[in-house]
Each structure stands twice: as C-alpha cells, then as structure tokens.
Amino acid sequence: MPAVTPLANMATRLTPADYTLSLAGENAFILYLNTQVISPAAAQQIALANSQLSPMLGQQLLELLPSYASLLIVFNPLQHSHLSIKPLLEQALTKAVNLVSQQQGKQVELPVWYSEQSGPDLAKVAQDKNLSINEVIALHSSTSYQVYAIGFAPGFAYLGELPEQLAVPRLSSPRPKVPAGAVAIADRQTAVYPAASPGGWHLLGLCPIAMFNAWQEPAMPVAVGDQVKFVPITERDFTLLGGVL
C-alpha cells in the first residue's frame, strides 16, 4: 500500500463570480472556472464545489466528475430537469462562499523503480535535457504533484506540474503498448499507467502499486485534490512490493 498522510487545512473560497454553469447534455451541467487556469488554487475551488454539492443534493445527483478547472454535474433526470436543478445547484454553491475548507486531499507516496530497464526513455530524457540520469530521477521524485484529474482510463491520474527542466513533448508516434505501472511524463504532467495500453508519454520507471482495482474500496490510491510524491526504490523492492516487469 502507498504511504498516506493527511494534508493541512487550506482556506479557499468559491464565489458566483468565479464560475459559469453551462448545459452539458440532457441531464448534466458543467461548471467552468472563469479563469480556466490550471493551478493548485483552481483545483481547490473545484474540490470545494465538489464537496459542497455532494452532501447537499445527495441522490439528486448521479455523478460528479472534477477536472483541472471544471466540474461535470450529472443529475437524476427522474427527479429534475435543467430548469428545476439549476437553482438548487446555485444555492448549494452559494453556501460555499466564505467557507474555510478542511482539505479533503491527502499526501500519497508512490514507490518507483527508476532505471533504463524499467524506464526505456529515462536515458533519452536525460540526454535531451543535458542532465544525468540521477538528476532526472532527483527532479522527478523531489516534487509534490497535485492530482488534477482522473481520465483517459480508470485510475489514470493527471499529475502536475512537472519541473520545467523535465518538460518534454509527447512522443511523435505513441507506443502500441505501455506496461501497467509505467511512470511517465509529457509536457508539464506526469502519471502512472493503471493498465497496459497504448501511450505517447516518455517512460521513466515502474510503480508496483495498483492504480485501479474495482474490487477494492477505494478503487484508487489517489483522488482529485491529493498530492503525490514519488519515492525511488530498488529493483528488489519493486519485486517485493508485487511489481512485475
């Protein structure tokens, strides 16, 4: 299991001037932050909206899907229409004004075996960035990353922001198969592939922790709003933790 630490409380606010509610389907709205800037502050505002709506509207909502600077709100069409649910959403969001949010996120440590064997792009990233392999590992593992969104595949957490020294574009030709647990970077983001799949990110190592298990609760070790820190481990530790190359 990954190491988990509660995060300190953080004051944040969400005011009506901060967001726009737009139609997003037959039974959905999407809340857009007006700044549309990817930042920890924006992530906190989305987390606040998410945490405010869920307990107040309960089963009137079918799903809440937070992202970088937006929140998809899917409501129960058997109970509401767009016209009837919108005032309730606005009322619930208004109650978030001037609240001091106890941050629901946590600090999660994920072990990573960094090597040229487990990370086939590690040496190339080092060469392209005029760094040593150890410097790449140190930069990647010394940063605390915000979980901004879950998407692309169940358990695929978009983490940011990657140190600027490591920013690389996506591969021009995606790999047909990236192994489960691959720790990868692209642009100013990093992620762990939860399952074997095609992928166009640069691979630095392998994580032995399962990023998605539908039979566990919670199904993922991380959630939007969490902070993730990668911890270098040896090949032996990787194997002992259940990792498979």
Give the chain's residues under pLDDT 70: 1, 3-13, 96-104
| Torsion sign across C-alpha atoms 170, 176, 179, 181 | positive
pLDDT value for 4 = 58
Written in H, E and C, the secondary structure of 76-145 is CCCCCCHHHHHHHHHHHHHCCCCCCCCCCCEEEEEEEEECCCCCCCHHHHHHHCCCCHHHHHHHHHCCEE
Tens digits of residue pLDDT in 45-60: 887 888 788 888 888 9
pLDDT value for 84 = 94
pLDDT value for 214 = 86
| pTM more than 0.85 | no
Domains, the chain, with CATH or none = 9-94 (3.30.1360.40), 106-240 (2.40.100.10)
pLDDT value for 221 = 93
**Residue 27 has which token pair?**
């039974």
